[in-house]
Structure 1
């Protein structure tokens, strides 16, 4: 992990989806590359995505943008709902703040604000599930899909639990710090440590610097997280995804079992599965280059259509077949 710096990003900009205001920015480097939108996980600010990974993606020819999901970072936070425990929300005590379709549409609002007719998507954790749903709901806007450290986007309720590690869930539920700026920093470091890769050293300094930069306490805001988890998906199954897809997962993920990635890759037609040795539920610096290279490979594979047609946005499109389903490397 590396601290996220405002020096390499444009000033914050805003996209609107109805009453929801979404904060986003763009990496200064690589502005003329292929559009790539990054989607972060549960309750987390976009600033938790390491600058080093974003720069590695820019070096691979991508124009990188990132945004805060609703109920995270600088984006709109909704009023409290009846369910204030994010893990209780998994058991159906959900409230009705918004739907998963609403969250998918948020990503499209950001693309519209960026002026991008279509883009590659990379989502991590909950962001991976959201990216899958965007590909289902708005396939013409998605060039390729990369889902990392995520459950299948159509998993719901108790069906989600088979993919989660209860021991880590219990530890996360016990992360309790004062509702102060200092408490938010300590909570951020604690959550980062719980999600860290077992095969790579935990960079506490970078985690602390990043935690100090985030816009709010979303990473330990149970109300906001419960609303995100409680957003139910009513759309088609992930077997309907047609865009070229890459599924990444760490074999040491302490929160989501690699079985989730295997199931996702097996069910999305033509998806390719890459298991990252020693990686947890985070984005450690030793694998930034590998992740960026895999996403570049996906984009290049997706650009070769047998009929020579162009994909949405005027860029070459992708044959959703081609790779063996669920092939792990």
Structure 2
């Protein structure tokens, strides 16, 4: 048994499964705070649920939340779809149509997980691609969303060329060049490389800590360009984010090297009464220095919904 599995048995409940048509979605729940208010987390492009720091999840539990997290389709232990013609995230970003599934399908995955958890409604926290997914859930299923927190994300209603204004294309190109062998060692090397790419340039990069984290979570999804292409190519056909009616918090790293802070500002300006918080010395990541602020802000947002 791996150290990650051993740790999960103590801090997290067993992996469970939700179904949305032919897609099976892996999820688990934090043991601490299980009687709190439901809070579901959605992760970023290619990343599995283990990228969300346990320390942040425990702080959220201490703030009164029952925390659950899931692997998006084409990520982690969830269903991976067959290959498509577009097999590079950069080209998938500018494809004229999706080939595998839609953004609506991914939003409905979130609801399937909530159903499997027995949650009629929940607070949502989406990070990066997960932030865009969470925005779309709030548009497509507003009655199921208590509050919406979107972090390090682009507006959920933009696609193709309109996305370019928010993405640092040089960093995305570096991601596209992250190629390592499809082995456990390759996944660890990719994890360190990705951690370096997303880190704030205004904090020293702790390579040893990044390597230890990657060894605990050798996630092949972060360099699976086929799967990432399908995720990034899923296009939204619904209303604009200005139609979001749920209480909304927009978090963004002030030093984000992948998604410009202007993306967070755009989201906050277009959703009525949304609160924008720029996190100092934070990149496209969840560093420990930001955990307390993130947990406190989400708690304050939930209090406003009551």
Query: Structure 1 length normalisation: TM-score?
Result: 0.89
Post-superposition offset of 1:213: 3.8
| Other structure's SS at 1:87 match | helix
Identify the residue that residue 53 of structure 1 maps to in structure 2. 56
Q: Which has the higher helix share?
A: 2
The alignment status of 1:270 with 2:249, answered yes or no, reads no
Post-superposition offset of 1:209: 3.3
Give distance in 2, aligned partners of 1:11 and 1:76: 18
Q: Residue deviations 1:242-266, cap 9 Å, x none?
A: 0000000011000000000000000
Match of 2:25 among 12, 22, 26: 22
Deviates more, 1:89-98 or 1:126-135: 89-98
Instruction: State whether residues 98 and 235 of structure 2, in contact with CA within 8 Å, keep that contact through their aligned partners in structure 1.
Output: no
Structure 2 gap segments, 5+ residues each: none
1:136 to 1:54, Cα distance in 2 relative to 1, 3 A: same
| Other structure's SS at 1:140 match | helix
The alignment status of 1:188 with 2:191, answered yes or no, reads yes
Identify the residue that residue 179 of structure 1 maps to in structure 2. 182
Match of 1:260 among 260, 263, 267: 263
Deviates more, 1:101-110 or 1:184-193: 184-193
Post-superposition offset of 1:221: 0.5
The alignment status of 1:133 with 2:136, answered yes or no, reads yes
Counterparts of 1:90-101 in structure 2, within 5 Å, are 90-92=93-95, 95-101=98-104
Match of 2:226 among 223, 228, 231: 223
Instruction: State whether residues 47 and 219 of structure 2, in contact with CA within 8 Å, keep that contact through their aligned partners in structure 1.
Output: no
Deviates more, 1:106-115 or 1:88-97: 88-97
Identify the residue that residue 159 of structure 2 maps to in structure 1. 156
Match of 1:37 among 23, 35, 40: 40
Post-superposition offset of 1:94: 5.0
Give distance in 1, aligned partners of 2:86 and 2:101: 13
Instruction: State whether residues 200 and 284 of structure 1, in contact with CA within 8 Å, keep that contact through their aligned partners in structure 2.
Output: no
Structure 1 gap segments, 5+ residues each: 304-329
Aligned residues: 301
Query: Structure 2 length normalisation: TM-score?
Result: 0.95
Give distance in 1, aligned partners of 2:218 and 2:192: 15
Post-superposition offset of 1:277: 1.0
Instruction: State whether residues 199 and 277 of structure 1, in contact with CA within 8 Å, keep that contact through their aligned partners in structure 2.
Output: no
Post-superposition offset of 1:185: 1.1
Give distance in 2, aligned partners of 1:135 and 1:203: 36
Give distance in 1, aligned partners of 2:17 and 2:216: 19
Give distance in 2, aligned partners of 1:16 and 1:202: 39
Give distance in 2, aligned partners of 1:92 and 1:146: 28
1:255 to 1:58, Cα distance in 2 relative to 1, 3 A: same
Q: Residue deviations 1:29-86, cap 9 Å, x none?
A: 1011100000100000000000011011111110000000000000000000000001
The alignment status of 1:102 with 2:85, answered yes or no, reads no
Give distance in 2, aligned partners of 1:237 and 1:20: 27
The alignment status of 1:142 with 2:145, answered yes or no, reads yes
| Other structure's SS at 1:172 match | helix
RMSD: 1.4
Counterparts of 1:109-120 in structure 2, within 5 Å, are 109-120=112-123
Q: Residue deviations 1:86-143, cap 9 Å, x none?
A: 1111111654100000000000000000000000000110000000000000000000
Give distance in 2, aligned partners of 1:37 and 1:59: 15
1:198 to 1:216, Cα distance in 2 relative to 1, 3 A: closer
